[in-house]
Amino acid sequence: MTEPASHEKPCDVAPEELQTNDALSPPKQSNKQKLVIVIAAFMLNFSGCGLLFSFGIFQSLYEDMAKEANNPFTGASSADISLIGSIAAALMKLGAPYVVAWCKYFSPQSVVCAGGLLFGIASVLASFGNALWHFQLSQGLLIGIATCLSFMPSMAVPPTWFGKYRGLNMGIISAGTGIGGLVWSPILSACFQSIGFRNTLRLTGCICTVLICGSGAVLRWDPKMAARLHEDNLKLSSVSGLFKVPLPPREIVTSRKFVAQCLNAAFQSAAYYTPVFYIAAYSKTLGYSDSEGSNFTALSNSCNAIGKVAVGFVADKIGRLDSFFLTTLLSSVSTAGLWIPSTVLGSANQSSGRGLFLGFTVLYGLFASAYIGLFSPALVEIFGMENLPRITGIMYFLQGAAGFVGTPVAGVLVRSLPSSKATENYVYMAVFVGALMVASTVTVFWARIEVMVERFGGEKRWAWKL
């Protein structure tokens, strides 16, 4: 059971709990507590985030409805529709600085439960939408805010509990998005056919509200971090605790490693969600059916889960920054080497296009998603655990801002050739994603170099494991 928050000063650990007989030492972690944290954070990713990662199913359905008369999406372009998912994905991280600050001042439990309730309300509101902008506000804006309130605590709180196996545990937690997408994708397709998309929104909203609130009720800071945050909270008023965002120290913000990490976060996030949202729609240009398109989304999400856990395990062995670089490199290789050729060759040689697209779906799912799982552990390696609460919000904010720009721009690049089934419609989109991934790879390597130089006291020496 979690301790109730204090009415005088919000924190996870009450002051009297810290006043132990042996020198004010916080209670030690237990393996049971760690397991509860992993399960709770995993379920937060599985529910709201997993559903967001299945937005490609909605994207495909809404694009089909856009070709029909008398519905909310009639005449809407691919970019207009993708804006729903783009807004949600962007706001999932744009609000990070405030959400992390609220988790520090109030408690992760209260923040997550607020997000769970908002998720259900937003889903029900979306189910009554009669115009495209209704869905952009409800399924986009409100669900994005709700997902941020549950996602950010699941990324900011767990790293404080783990040391040696931080990469593996964060990989398991982040795998919740992939497993969630794997489970939600076929459920959404089946529900669309049996109960319609409006009732599907209501059903998934209610389920996610229960899962998010139940998981959030047991999410709390590590005792040592909670004690440190309690001391910080004593210096804040209710107003400053609600509106003040703690910023990183000046010496960190002005460092080259901070610039490098900001750039790689922005480039990767601008590219990442585009293939996730467009997998189902692109598969139709290769002759696949709606159900087969949803299977591609499920396949991508299953690879997402496998990649995060496997790479997290490997990262603890070979180095988290090295794994961070390799996953980004392989993501760019899969995009440039497989998806772009699929868009070029697919119309003339459908079998070749299909084979290349299948390879891209698997490799991109395995490695691009692993970047997300390694993001928090990499921040610890680059900036240190003591700076994690201050750094996390800023970095995720940059990811959200970049995603808000990247996916809509990619949607605009989808062409409308005479044949709607032409894979060439997606050539420019694939090139755009590939270029961003290459830029992210370069800046990840730059961040690694800066950390390596710093650890050797400015000497230009090479370290094989970081």
| Full residue range of the structural domain in which residue 230 is found | 28-455
* pLDDT beyond 80 at 332: yes
Task: Decide: 371 and 331 in contact? Cβ < 8 Å.
Answer: yes
Question: Residue 421 has what pLDDT?
Answer: 60
The reply to whether 21 falls in a domain is: no
Question: Residue 244 has what pLDDT?
Answer: 72
Report the amino acid identity of residue 47: S
The reply to whether 442 falls in a domain is: yes
The reply to whether 10 falls in a domain is: no
Q: How far is 255 from 260, CA to CA, in rounded Å? A: 9
The reply to whether 314 falls in a domain is: yes
Please count the structural domains in the chain. 1
Prediction pTM value: 0.71
Assign residue 300 the CATH number of its domain.
1.20.1250.20
Confidence band for 26, pLDDT divided at 50, 70 and 90: low
Question: Residue 247 has what pLDDT?
Answer: 76
Both tokens of 11, joined, read: 């924190």
Look at 236 and 204; give whichever has higher pLDDT. 204
Look at 368 and 13; give whichever has higher pLDDT. 368
- Give the three-class secondary structure for 249: coil
Nearest partner of 294 among 41, 64, 49, judged by Cα: 64
The reply to whether 127 falls in a domain is: yes
The reply to whether 6 falls in a domain is: no
- Using one digit for the tens of pLDDT, what is the confidence trace for 187-209? 888 898 899 889 999 999 999 99
The reply to whether 436 falls in a domain is: yes
Tally of CB atoms within 10 A around 64: 13
The reply to whether 181 falls in a domain is: yes
- Using one digit for the tens of pLDDT, what is the confidence trace for 249-305? 888 888 999 999 999 999 998 888 888 778 878 888 888 877 777 778 778 878 878
Look at 1 and 202; give whichever has higher pLDDT. 202
